[in-house]
Amino acid sequence: MTEAILVTGATGTVGRHVVAALADRDVAGRAGVRDPEAVPRQIADAGEPVEFDFTKPETWGPALADVDGVFLVRPPIVDGSAVGSFAEAAGRVGVDRVAYLSTLGAERNVLIPHHRIEKRVAAADVDYTLLRASFFMQNLLEVHRPDIVERDEVFVPAGSGRTSFVDARDIGEIAAVVLTESGHANRAYDLTGPAALEYGDVAEIFADVLGRPITYPEPSLPAFARRMRRRGKPWAFIALMCGIYTVARLGLAARVTEDGRRLLGRQPRDMRTFVEDHADQFRSENVA
Ligand SMILES: NC(=O)c1ccc[n+]([C@@H]2O[C@H](COP(=O)([O-])OP(=O)(O)OC[C@H]3O[C@@H](n4cnc5c(N)ncnc54)[C@H](OP(=O)(O)O)[C@@H]3O)[C@@H](O)[C@H]2O)c1
| CATH number reported for the structural domain that contains residue 71 in this entry | 3.40.50.720
Atom in ligand 1 nearest the alpha carbon of residue 104 = 6
| pLDDT > 60? residue 1 | no
Tell me the β-bridge partners of 227: none
Q: Which domain CATH number covers 242?
A: 3.90.25.10
In whole angstroms, what is the distance from residue 1 CA to residue 131 CA?
22
Q: At 118, phi and psi to the nearest 5?
A: -55, -45
Asked if residue 75 has its Cβ within 6 Å of ligand 1, the reply is: yes
The pLDDT tens digits of the residues spanning 49-83 come to: 999 999 999 999 999 999 999 999 999 999 999 99
Spatial CA neighbour of 23 closest among 37, 4, 50, 38: 4
Query: What does the pLDDT average to over 131-151?
Result: 97
Using the CB atoms, write b or e for 98-131: b if 16+ within 10 Å.
bbbbbbbbbeeeeebbbbbbbebbeebebbbbbb
- pLDDT mean across residues, the chain: 96
Asked if residue 163 has its Cβ within 6 Å of ligand 1, the reply is: no
| pLDDT > 60? residue 276 | yes
Residue 189 placed within a domain: no
Asked if residue 9 has its Cβ within 6 Å of ligand 1, the reply is: yes
Spatial CA neighbour of 251 closest among 164, 146, 128, 167: 164
How many structural domains does the chain have? 2
Q: Whose CA is nearest to atom 45 of ligand 1?
A: 74
Asked if residue 83 has its Cβ within 6 Å of ligand 1, the reply is: no
Ligand 1 center to residue 227 CA distance, Å? Answer: 24
* Cβ count within 10 A of residue 97: 22
Q: Whose CA is nearest to atom 27 of ligand 1?
A: 75
Asked if residue 136 has its Cβ within 6 Å of ligand 1, the reply is: yes
Query: What does the pLDDT average to over 173-188?
Result: 98
pLDDT at 122 (0 to 100): 98
Which residues are within 8 A (CB) of 58 and not within 5 positions of it... i.e. 6 or more apart?
Answer: none
Q: Are residues 222 and 85 in the same domain?
A: no
pLDDT at 224 (0 to 100): 98
Q: Are residues 127 and 199 in the same domain?
A: no
| pLDDT > 80? residue 20 | yes
Measured CA distances, 9 to 68, 139, 171, 265 (Å) = 17, 16, 13, 26
| pLDDT > 60? residue 250 | yes
Atom in ligand 1 nearest the alpha carbon of residue 168 = 16
Q: Are residues 84 and 156 in the same domain?
A: no
| pLDDT > 70? residue 194 | yes
Ligand 1 center to residue 10 CA distance, Å? Answer: 8
Higher pLDDT: 224 or 1? It is 224
| pLDDT > 90? residue 288 | no
Q: Are residues 46 and 90 in the same domain?
A: yes
Residue 10 placed within a domain: yes
In whole angstroms, what is the distance from residue 214 CA to residue 211 CA?
9
DSSP-H helix ranges across 112-234: 113-123, 145-151, 168-180, 199-210, 221-230
Asked if residue 133 has its Cβ within 6 Å of ligand 1, the reply is: yes
Q: Are residues 104 and 222 in the same domain?
A: no
pLDDT at 158 (0 to 100): 98
Q: Are residues 102 and 214 in the same domain?
A: no
**Residue 233's domain spans which residues?**
139-162+194-254+269-286
Q: Are residues 152 and 78 in the same domain?
A: no
Q: Are residues 16 and 152 in the same domain?
A: no
Local confidence band at 102 (pLDDT 50, 70, 90 cut-offs)? very high
Local confidence band at 284 (pLDDT 50, 70, 90 cut-offs)? confident
Using the CB atoms, write b or e for 169-191: b if 16+ within 10 Å.
bbbbbbbbbbbbeeebeeebbbb
